Amino acid sequence: MNKRWPGVVAAVGLIAAVAVAVVVTSDADGESLAAQPIVGASQQAAVDQLRTRLLTELVQRRTQALVSGDEAGWLADVDPRREDTVAYERMRFQNLRRLEPAHFRILPGESSLHEYKAAPLEFDILVTQVMRLPEDVRSSANDYRWYVSVTDDRITIGGVDEKPMPVGQDAARSPAWDDVALRTVRGERATVVSAQDGAWDPQAYTAAAERAARRVQELWRSRKSPSRFIVFLADDSQFSSWFDNHRAPMGSTIGVATLPQMVADDGGRYPSQRDRSAGLGSSTKPRYLDRAAGARIMLRMSKIKDMAHAEAVMVHEMTHALGPHLISPDSIDFGTEGRMDQPVWAIEGFARYVEHKSRPGTAEQGAAFVRRNMSKWGAKGFPVNKDFYSEDQDRTTFNYEIGAAFFLAAERAGNAQKAADLYIALTNSTQLTSGFINQDIAAAGLDPDRVWAAYRKLVG
């Protein structure tokens, strides 16, 4: 016997003895019902101890294999007879290595033994994969269920399910790297990713991604932000299923930045971190050092008209991605009515305002559209979140453009840097504090009267 697993020998022997005591009942038709194991508490404890030990070593081995680029090591614990699992885990390994994670760790969670019986001991375990991409600011996590069996001193993974829980709304979630083989092209400021067999070559989009990244970073200057961006080129089906984008209204959506929840590097809870240092203006509203792990930008390629369009959409989404500490993954949920939620009009308005900068003439067109429709949709001021993403495409456009016009007015009353500061101030407001916007304008170093005068000039 292998000395590495002394506990196995004792425990398996123990279980074998127990198996003799399994009671099998029969129903009237003579078919056997489920075996009813009779296992003492101390024997169960021995089995549980064994499981804990084997699983701890298993996740450590696999973590090390991924980090060191050892594909054979990664696959060594997978049952070679399970070709589907081997192929799936090989694809995941290659995808994850291409993403060059800055942090990677697999942690064992709850495991459930199928039955206390003789070898093979079969059970499944929930594992958490903690990862931080180079484009992230914090780690985030995905859960998997491994189906594992133990024979003598050997633990083997038979099957792997991604997204095992929770069932319900999040069941559709699937990180791109768990779905299909990916190709990645890494530029100075952005990484572009697509399916290997996808219709869109990431290489063709890297120049546009670099230009978009440079544009938003030059505007953002030295403000807190991730140092890079990651952009996934998706077909319609990938766009609706990758990450947690299944809740987004598909309709005419062309791009999205999804912001994963943060976890600590060891998988533990990592709550939003308040920034208690002196910040923008004299506002006493909470500011944050951290609110989301980063952003996964996706372009819905079927809706992208040409490269200039792709670049403009990347500018928009990268503007969102600048602020994982500014945007809470919880508080801009689609259709939410939470009174304390962040103002979506400000988040989308600022992104549209920056997007306009990449397409000359579009800012004026947007303002003209608002002017024409102000009496129809703008009578009550800026839109509340529940009305923001409307079934009516024109109304949705109006909602984006009225916010964009507000930031353009801030720029005209001051400059683009103050417009960026105003955006930051507004992300710390709630959607229903329109009456207090002047405080945020002042906090950004702008004169409210001048901003509103510029705004009226733009939109009437």
Instruction: Write out the residues near Zn ion by the rule CB under 5 A.
Output: 348, 351
User: HEC profile for 191-245?
Assistant: EEEEECCCCCCHHHHHHHHHHHHHHHHHHHCCCCCCCCEEEEEECHHHHHHEECH
Cβ proximity of 315 and 215 under 8 Å: yes
Nearest to Zn ion of 331, 439 (CB atom):
331
Closest distance between Zn ion and the C-beta of residue 339, in Å? Answer: 22
Q: Please give the Cα distance from 295 to 293 (Å, whole number).
A: 7
Nearest to Zn ion of 128, 253 (CB atom):
253
Give Cα 290 to chain centroid, integer Å: 14
Nearest to Zn ion of 123, 382 (CB atom):
382
Show the CA angle centred on residue 301, arms to residues 344 and 258, nearest 5°. 35
Closest distance between Zn ion and the C-beta of residue 255, in Å? Answer: 7
Cβ proximity of 127 and 160 under 8 Å: no
Give the three-state DSSP class for 36: strand
Q: Please give the Cα distance from 43 to 63 (Å, whole number).
A: 30
Closest distance between Zn ion and the C-beta of residue 366, in Å? Answer: 14
Give Cα 319 to chain centroid, integer Å: 16
Nearest to Zn ion of 262, 346 (CB atom):
346
Closest distance between Zn ion and the C-beta of residue 348, in Å? Answer: 5
Nearest to Zn ion of 143, 387 (CB atom):
387
Closest distance between Zn ion and the C-beta of residue 332, in Å? Answer: 10
Closest distance between Zn ion and the C-beta of residue 215, in Å? Answer: 16
Position with the least CB separation from Zn ion: 351
Closest distance between Zn ion and the C-beta of residue 63, in Å? Answer: 35
Q: What is the DSSP letter of 181?
A: -
Q: Please give the Cα distance from 193 to 205 (Å, whole number).
A: 10
- For the chain, give the number of residues: 460
Nearest to Zn ion of 244, 348 (CB atom):
348
Closest distance between Zn ion and the C-beta of residue 419, in Å? Answer: 16
Cβ proximity of 205 and 230 under 8 Å: no
Closest distance between Zn ion and the C-beta of residue 167, in Å? Answer: 29
Q: Please give the Cα distance from 323 to 351 (Å, whole number).
A: 11
Nearest to Zn ion of 156, 319 (CB atom):
319
Nearest to Zn ion of 174, 258 (CB atom):
258
Region label for 433, one of left (φ > 0), alpha (ψ between -120 and 50) or beta (otherwise): alpha
Cβ proximity of 297 and 257 under 8 Å: yes
Cβ proximity of 427 and 327 under 8 Å: yes
Cβ proximity of 455 and 409 under 8 Å: yes
Nearest to Zn ion of 187, 255 (CB atom):
255
Nearest to Zn ion of 183, 359 (CB atom):
359
Nearest to Zn ion of 124, 355 (CB atom):
355
Closest distance between Zn ion and the C-beta of residue 404, in Å? Answer: 11
Closest distance between Zn ion and the C-beta of residue 87, in Å? Answer: 36
Integer-rounded Cα Rg, in Å, for the chain is 27
Give the three-state DSSP class for 178: helix
Q: Please give the Cα distance from 400 to 352 (Å, whole number).
A: 7
Give the up-direction half-sphere exposure of residue 459: CA atoms within 13 A in the CB hemisphere: 28
